[in-house]
Chain A
Amino acid sequence: MIFHSIRWRLQAWHGLILVVVLTGFGFTAYHVARDNQLRRIDQDLDQRLMAIFRPQPPDRPPDRPPDWQHGGHGQRGGFPPNEPRNEHGFGSPDFLRHIREAVQQGGALDPSQTNIYYYVMWQQDGSILAHSPGAPEDVSAPEHPGPQALKARNAFGKTTPPEGGPPMPPAARSRGQLRELFRFGPLGDCVLVGRSMSPDLTAMRRLALWLIAAGATVLLLGLAGGWWVATRAIRPIEAISATAVKIAGGDLAQRINAADTDSELDRLAGVLNSTFARLEAAFAQQAQFTSDASHELRTPVAVILSQTQIALSRQRPSAEYREALEACERAAKRMRNLTESLLQLARLDAGQEAMKRELFDLSRIVRECVDMVRPLAAERGIKIQCDVPSLEGLGDAGRIGQVITNLLTNAIHFNRDQGEVRLSARGESDAVFLAVADTGQGIPAEDIPHLFQRFYRVEKSRSRIQGRNGLGLAICKAIIDAHGGNFEVSSQPGAGSTFTVKLPLR
């Protein structure tokens, strides 16, 4: 499934995080803007409120607009700040008259339909003292909250009233699209200035739309960028998996191109490449082994087939039948020898060949082996010198004997006539070492690493000699490996070779 791919999952998480971040950011931005706007409105309203507390003198020229319409602080007119004007509260006749005039003046001076401001004044008993012409009819008197709460609800967060202002701090409220700011006088009378917020709300809505549009754009860009990054990040993985697919398809020569991978994936690619190389080598070795084994088996089969076919092609004297049967017997023995070796190797490979682990007298085993091969050596006048002290070995005496016999037959086989085979051994605390040296032609250095390879032959010319199937040393190595030991081969061209077996004692 494509939606289960790493890239899609990365993209989904990336998109989710982006949406959360953008939404949070948008909400915060919107609210900060909204609060700022409200604060500006409140400041504006408060300036106008304060202007009412500093009304114009009655003799003020009628063409001059009242201060509060400009949001000024009455620096250009109004009572001097130190003039006591409301010591009797809003209700004092002088002050009331004064206010009414100001309000009327303000209203008369600002008849414009665009004026969004209005104000209302209440006396202590809640009756409306005065209001501007544009004031909404449903405006109700704010409830006096008591001096403590007023202090807490200070719209500006300040406890000190502005200079010359009334003693109580202003409070704000919203009613639908209207924003109203009011102050109580010390006697409980109240002045409220309000305005419609509809232009501000329209602006806020526009801001919200902008934020949504910008957020959506950023989200799309982010998703596109994320897709690009994910594609780039996944490309080496895809290169690796494409290579793996090709290898699974049978093309073992494929390798991951290191140029396709980033540094983090370099190690993975390296590990996979070396694994692939080992796999390929193992496969090649297996294929070579099968090919060699079938090759070795085919020649005797060809002998049997051709000998029998020719013998049966016509009536023959019995001596010819005998010859044919003898040839068939030789071929069959060769096949038996080979199949037994192959079977033993397969068992050793699979770890199925039960190995005894017991102490044995190495010198006795060596003597038995030497006695067995002595006739073979005598045929070519080869002397066997055995210099093996009494030593204890640990393992399967029968199989160690097989190894020694094999080494001895090799040493005789590859020796020169009248040559010599020397056996020597020494013991160490944790292992015994047995060396078999010959005086033959020696082994070329380039062949030594391959000696224990199955069916590897140094001397091709000796390849078909009876009883030698190219598996002898491979079996020796498998047996010694199963004992935890190893082989060492040294050779001097023209002077001879030495095979040393290390057999551990634990």
Chain B
Amino acid sequence: MRVLAVEDEPDLLGSLLKALREDGYAVDGAPDGEDGLYKAESYDYDAIVLDIMLPGIDGWELLRRLRKTKKTPVLMLTARDAVRDRVRGLDTGADDYLVKPFELVELLARLRALIRRSASQAQARLEIGSVAIDTAARTVTRDGEVVTLTAREYALLEFLALHRGKVVTRTTLYEHLFDETDDTLSNLLDVHVSNIRKKLGHDFITTRRGHGYSIE
């Protein structure tokens, strides 16, 4: 999952990026509205965390312009909790709303829910055959036994599981699993896929040669 955080307070942006990264997301950060809008329009993020009070283009304007082209789920952050502001945010196209100061666990939970909903999944638990994925706890079990995956392997598995039945191209996978800070060496998709196959069974992930991967 790749997430964009747009926040002008450097210390807050720093902790947001760190928390998201440690939760297994590929994260990009933007310190102002213009950079945020540019990135939001350039990549297909799985979700955007957007502060309202931004220098340059503010959160409202960014959201309004973004909604002309993209349906990326947006979680708005604001220091104002007036009902009017919340209503305006939701009406402008925000998908959720969080008032500063917020609890990190709540932010992460809301973000998971947003991503799940945009993939048309209502539950936090995904079951594929004998394999169960708990997206809240970020754990995978096979026949009731816990399977240990690296963060990257888990992210790859979760992305494919959320898009179950669809062929996901390598480009899409690169875009959603790695952020701009990742070095190319870690982008070895095939290694990750083969590791997951070793742990969950060879047929769990199907390779469509020339197209990409999918979970049936």
Give the interface of A toward B (CB within 8 A): 291, 294-296, 298-299, 301-307, 309-310, 313-314, 323-324, 327, 330-331, 460-464
B14 A327 Cβ-Cβ under 8 A: yes
B210 CB to nearest chain A CB (Å): 42
B30 CB to nearest chain A CB (Å): 14
Bound CA span A294–B102, Å: 14
A314 CB to nearest chain B CB (Å): 8
Contacts of B105 in A (CB 8 A): 309
A461-B32 in contact given A301-B100, A305-B103, A310-B22 (Cβ < 8 Å): yes
Give the interface of B toward A (CB within 8 A): 8-9, 11-12, 14-16, 18-19, 22, 32, 53, 55-56, 58, 79-80, 82, 99-105
| Chain A, residue nearest B104 (CB) | A309
Q: From the candidates A307, A330, A464, name the one contacting B15 in the complex (CB within 8 A).
A: A307
Bound CA span A299–B9, Å: 8
Contacts of A323 in B (CB 8 A): 14
A295 B79 Cβ-Cβ under 8 A: yes
B12 A309 Cβ-Cβ under 8 A: no
Contacts of A304 in B (CB 8 A): 101
A460 B55 Cβ-Cβ under 8 A: yes
Q: From the candidates A305, A327, A330, A331, name the one contacting B102 in the complex (CB within 8 A).
A: A305
A302 B55 Cβ-Cβ under 8 A: no
Bound CA span A307–B103, Å: 11
| Chain B, residue nearest A297 (CB) | B79
Can you name 14 A-B pairs with beta carbons within 8 Å?
Answer: A302-B9, A302-B100, A305-B103, A305-B104, A306-B12, A307-B15, A310-B18, A310-B19, A313-B104, A314-B22, A323-B14, A461-B55, A464-B8, A464-B55
B79 A294 Cβ-Cβ under 8 A: yes
Bound CA span A313–B19, Å: 9
Bound CA span A295–B80, Å: 6
Given A307-B14, A460-B58, 9 other A-B contacts at CB below 8 A?
Answer: A294-B79, A299-B12, A305-B102, A306-B12, A306-B104, A309-B15, A309-B19, A310-B18, A331-B11
Contacts of A313 in B (CB 8 A): 19, 22, 104
Looking at chain A's contact residues, the main secondary structure is helix
Bound CA span A331–B53, Å: 17
Contacts of B80 in A (CB 8 A): 291, 294-295
Bound CA span A291–B170, Å: 48
A298 B55 Cβ-Cβ under 8 A: no
Q: From the candidates B14, B19, B82, B101, name the one contacting A302 in the complex (CB within 8 A).
A: B101
Contacts of A307 in B (CB 8 A): 11, 14-15
| Chain B, residue nearest A294 (CB) | B79
| Chain B, residue nearest A460 (CB) | B55
Contacts of B58 in A (CB 8 A): 460
4 closest Cβ pairs, A-B complex? A461-B55, A302-B101, A327-B11, A298-B79
B103 A309 Cβ-Cβ under 8 A: yes
Bound CA span A302–B12, Å: 7
B193 CB to nearest chain A CB (Å): 28
Bound CA span A307–B18, Å: 9
A310 B15 Cβ-Cβ under 8 A: yes
A301 B11 Cβ-Cβ under 8 A: no
Bound CA span A301–B77, Å: 14
A303-B55 in contact given A291-B82, A310-B22, A461-B32 (Cβ < 8 Å): no
Bound CA span A331–B12, Å: 10
Q: From the candidates B15, B22, B79, name the one contacting A327 in the complex (CB within 8 A).
A: B15
A303-B22 in contact given A310-B104, A460-B58 (Cβ < 8 Å): no
Bound CA span A407–B123, Å: 57
| Chain A, residue nearest B18 (CB) | A310
A306 B32 Cβ-Cβ under 8 A: no
Q: From the candidates A305, A310, A460, A463, name the one contacting B101 in the complex (CB within 8 A).
A: A305
Bound CA span A144–B202, Å: 157
Contacts of A294 in B (CB 8 A): 79-80
A463-B22 in contact given A298-B100, A303-B12 (Cβ < 8 Å): no
Bound CA span A464–B53, Å: 10
B103 A299 Cβ-Cβ under 8 A: no
Bound CA span A314–B19, Å: 11
B154 CB to nearest chain A CB (Å): 17
B79 A302 Cβ-Cβ under 8 A: yes
A412 CB to nearest chain B CB (Å): 19
Contacts of A464 in B (CB 8 A): 8-9, 55
Chain A CB within 10 Å, residue with most, of B8, B14, B15, B101:
B15
Contacts of A295 in B (CB 8 A): 53, 79-80
Contacts of A461 in B (CB 8 A): 32, 55-56
A303 B16 Cβ-Cβ under 8 A: no
A460 CB to nearest chain B CB (Å): 5
Bound CA span A334–B80, Å: 18
A463 B104 Cβ-Cβ under 8 A: no
Bound CA span A324–B56, Å: 28
Bound CA span A210–B53, Å: 86
